[in-house]
Amino acid sequence: MEELLKILSGICPKVDFVNEKKLIDDGILDSFDIISIVNELNEHYDIEIDVDDLEPDNFNTVEAMLELIEKLQNE
Amino acid sequence: MNIVSLLYLAFVAVVALAYFITPRRLRWVTLLVASVANYLSYDLKLAVWMFITSVTIYVGGLLIDRQEQKYAAQIKARTDLDRSGKRALKKQNERAKRRWAALVAAVNIAIWVIFKFADLFITTLNKYLSGNLSLWHLMLPLGISFYTLQAISYVVDLSRGKCEVQRNYFKLLLWLCFFPQMLQGPICRYRETAPQLYEPHDFDYRRVKFGMQRMLWGYFKKLVIADRVVKVSEKVFGNSGNYQGLVFVIGALAYTIQIYADFSGGMDIISGAAEILGVNMPVNFERPYFSKSISEYWRRWHITLGAWFRDYVFYPLSISKWAQKLTTSLRKRLGPNIAKMIPTYLAMVLVWMLNGIWHGAGWQFVAFGMYQGILIVLGMQFEPVFDWVIAKLKINTSCFSWRLWQMLRTLALIMGGRIIFKASGLYEAMRIGWSILKVHNIWIFTDGTLFKLGLNAWELFLLFVAVLVLLTVSILQEKGYHIREAIERQNLVFRWLLYIAAIATVILFGVYGPSYDAAGFVYAGF
C-alpha cells in the first residue's frame, strides 16, 4: 500500500489518495490522470491493465487499485 | 415529430396512457411501437438505415456471444492448461470478440461517413484535382450521429464483457430507437438504459409530475431563451461583414447562451418525457458554464458524447500496444516523462479532431475540435507555471472572487470556440477574432446598436429576465438544491400558481410566429 501511495502521489501530488473514496465519481482524477496511473502501474508492477479494467470501481480508491493490481498479478 | 409541438405533447400523453394500460409484460412493446412509429414518421426511406444499423449490432452481438460461449466451453474442456495457457486462450478470445466488434463498428462508421462527408470529399477532390464530379446531396438519416455511436457502444461493451447480449431483436431495436432520445441524444449505454426499457413501470403520480415539470423547464429554455436569443446570433454571424469588435463579443455571448438553452432544453424535454414512462436518461449537462477550466467544461457539457470518446477512442488508444511502443522508442531521445505524455497527447488530438468532425463536415469543425484540444494541453502543460505565479503573487485561490475569475476566463475561451463553430468559415472566424482584438468600439453599449441586433428593448429585457431565472435555478442546483422536491413541499395553492405562471410564461413569452422554425434544434442537425 505504501509503495502504491508513493507512486500515485508522484503522479498527482495534489490528490489526497488516503482519504478520498470517490476519486473518479467526484472527478478528482480525470482521464489523463488515469492513463498516467495505468502506464506507471503497468511498468512498476509488470502487469497489463486492459481497457476493460478502466472502470470507475477499479480506480475510485487506492484500495480498489491495489485489488486490481493483485488480481492482474495472480492471473 | 418535432418535440416542440402540441402534436408531440399529445403523442407523449397517448403513449403514456397506452403504456400504463397495456399488460405489464407487453409494456416494452408499446414503447417499441411508439418509437418505431415516431421514427418512421420523419422519413420512411431514410429510416431503412437505422434498421440496418440495428440488424448489424444484433447479429454482431450474437456472434460475440457465440465466441464467448466457445471460450467458456474450451476453458471447461481444457483442464490440462496451466496459467499461461489459460491466459493465452483468454487473449485469443478477447481478440476474436474485438474483431467482431470492430467489424460492426466499421460498417456503421462507413455508413455515417458516406452520408455525412460524401459531398465534402467530392468538393475537395474537385477543388484540388480539378475534377468535375457532381455532388450527391444525400439527406442525413435523422439522429444518425447519435444512434451510430450508441450502436457501436453496444457491441464494444459486449466484447469487453460489460453488458449482456440481447437475443430479442425487437428489444434491441427499442433500445436503439427509443423515441424521446432518438434525435439528439443523450447517447445511452445498453447496460444503463436497456433494463429500464424492458422492465414494466406502473403509473407513479410523483414521477409523472416530475417528468412534466422537467419538460416544462425544457420548453422554457428552448422557447423563451434559445429561440429569442437566436435572433441576435443569427443577425451578427449571418451579417458578419457589417460588424466589428465588441458586436462579435455580443454575438458570441448570444450564441453561447442559445446553444446551451437549446441543447440542454432539448435534453430536459427528452428526459422529462422518458421520466413519465419510468426511464431515467443519463445526465448530459451539469451546468457547464460554471466550469473553472476547459477540461472541466467538457466533463459537464454533452457528457455522454465526451464519455463515449473517452471510453471508445481515448482510453483504448492511450494504453494500446502502439502507445507503449511509441513511448519506448521515444524514451531514449526525449526522456521518460515526455515520452510517456506524447502518445497520450496524440490520442487526445485525435479525439478532439473526431469530436470536431462529429459536429459537422468542414474544416472549421476540425479547427473547433483542435482548439479545445490545444487549450486542454496548454492548460495541463502550463499548470506548474500557473501554480508558481499564484504562489508568487500570494493569490487566495479559495475565495469566491478567484473562482469567479476562473469561470469567466473559461467562459471567454468557450466563446472563442463558439466563434469558430458559428462563423461562416474558418477564415471568417479568424477575421472575427482579429476584429475583437483590434476594434474596441465600447460605444455600442450606449449608441443604440444593441437594439438593432435582432431584438428590441422589450425583447432584450425579457431575455435578460429569462436568463436571470436560468442563472438563479442553475446556482441553486449547483449548491445542491433539488428544485422539484422543494416545489413539492409547498402548499397546494402556491404550487398550482407556480405551475400556471410557468405554463403562461412559456405560452406568452415563448417565441412563435410565421418565421419560427421549431425544427431548428441545433444538435438535431448533427
Q: What is the pLDDT of residue B449?
A: 86
DSSP B225: I
> What structural domains and CATH numbers belong to chain A?
2-74 (1.10.1200.10)
CA distance A3 to B81: 34
Q: What is the pLDDT of residue B322?
A: 85
Selection from B355, B331, B351 nearest residue B342 by Cα: B331
Mean pLDDT of A3-16: 88
Tens digits of pLDDT across chain B (526 residues): 788 888 999 999 999 999 999 999 999 999 999 999 999 988 888 899 999 999 999 999 999 999 999 999 998 888 888 878 888 898 899 999 999 999 999 999 999 999 988 888 888 888 888 778 888 888 888 899 999 999 999 999 999 999 999 999 999 999 999 999 988 889 999 999 999 999 999 999 999 999 999 999 999 999 999 999 999 999 999 988 899 899 999 999 999 999 999 999 999 999 999 999 999 999 999 999 999 999 899 999 999 999 999 999 999 998 888 888 888 788 777 777 777 788 888 888 889 989 988 888 778 888 888 999 899 888 888 888 988 999 999 999 889 999 999 999 999 999 999 999 989 888 899 999 999 999 988 888 888 888 888 888 999 999 999 999 999 999 999 999 999 999 999 999 999 999 999 999 999 888 875 445 544 666 666 6
Average pLDDT, chain A: 89
Please give the residue of chain B at the shortest CA–CA distance from A72. B87
Contact B344 A35 (CB under 8 A): yes
Domain borders along chain B are: 6-203, 204-281+442-526, 292-422
Q: What is the pLDDT of residue B203?
A: 95
Contact A27 B296 (CB under 8 A): yes
- Looking at chain A, the whole-number percentage of residues with pLDDT higher than 70 is 100
CA distance A4 to B143: 45
B149: its cell numbers = 455511436
Q: Which residues of A touch B296 (CB under 8 A)?
A: 27
Q: Tell me which residues of chain B, numbers 68 to 87, contact chain A at a CB-CB cutoff of 8 Å.
A: 83, 87
Its pTM stands at 0.90
Selection from A28, A41, A11, A37 nearest residue B315 by Cα: A37
Selection from B174, A5, A45 nearest residue A68 by Cα: A45
Q: Is A35 on the interface with B (CB under 8 A)?
A: yes
Question: Using CB atoms, which residue from B162, B316, B380 is nearest to A32?
Answer: B380
DSSP B181: G
Residue in the block written with cell 447519435: B146
Residue in the block written with cell 455515417: B112
CA distance A65 to A58: 6
Q: What is the pLDDT of residue B524?
A: 62
Please give the residue of chain B at the shortest CA–CA distance from A50. B319
Q: Is A41 on the interface with B (CB under 8 A)?
A: no
CA distance B178 to B174: 5
Contact A35 B380 (CB under 8 A): no
Amino acid at B298: W
Q: What is the pLDDT of residue B40?
A: 92
Q: Is B112 on the interface with A (CB under 8 A)?
A: no
List of residues 6+ apart from B520 with CB closer than 8 A: B230
Q: What is the pLDDT of residue B240?
A: 87
Q: What is the pLDDT of residue B519?
A: 43
ipTM of this complex: 0.90
B326: its cell numbers = 511509441
* A74 pLDDT higher than 60: yes
Q: Which residues of B touch A34 (CB under 8 A)?
A: 315
| Cis peptide, bond prior to residue B200, ω within 30 of zero | no
CA distance B312 to B316: 6
CA distance B161 to B97: 10
Selection from B370, B367, B365, B313 nearest residue B344 by Cα: B313
Q: What is the pLDDT of residue B124?
A: 84
Interchain CB contacts (distance < 8 Å): A and B = 40
Q: Which residues of B touch A71 (CB under 8 A)?
A: none
Q: What is the pLDDT of residue B136?
A: 83
pLDDT digits (tens, 9 = 90+) for B227-274: 999 999 999 999 888 998 999 999 999 999 999 999 999 999 999 999
CA distance B315 to B15: 40
CA distance B520 to B230: 10
Q: Which residues of A touch B314 (CB under 8 A)?
A: 31, 35
Q: Tell me which residues of chain B, numbers 299 to 338, contact chain A at a CB-CB cutoff of 8 Å.
A: 299, 310-311, 314-316, 318-319, 327
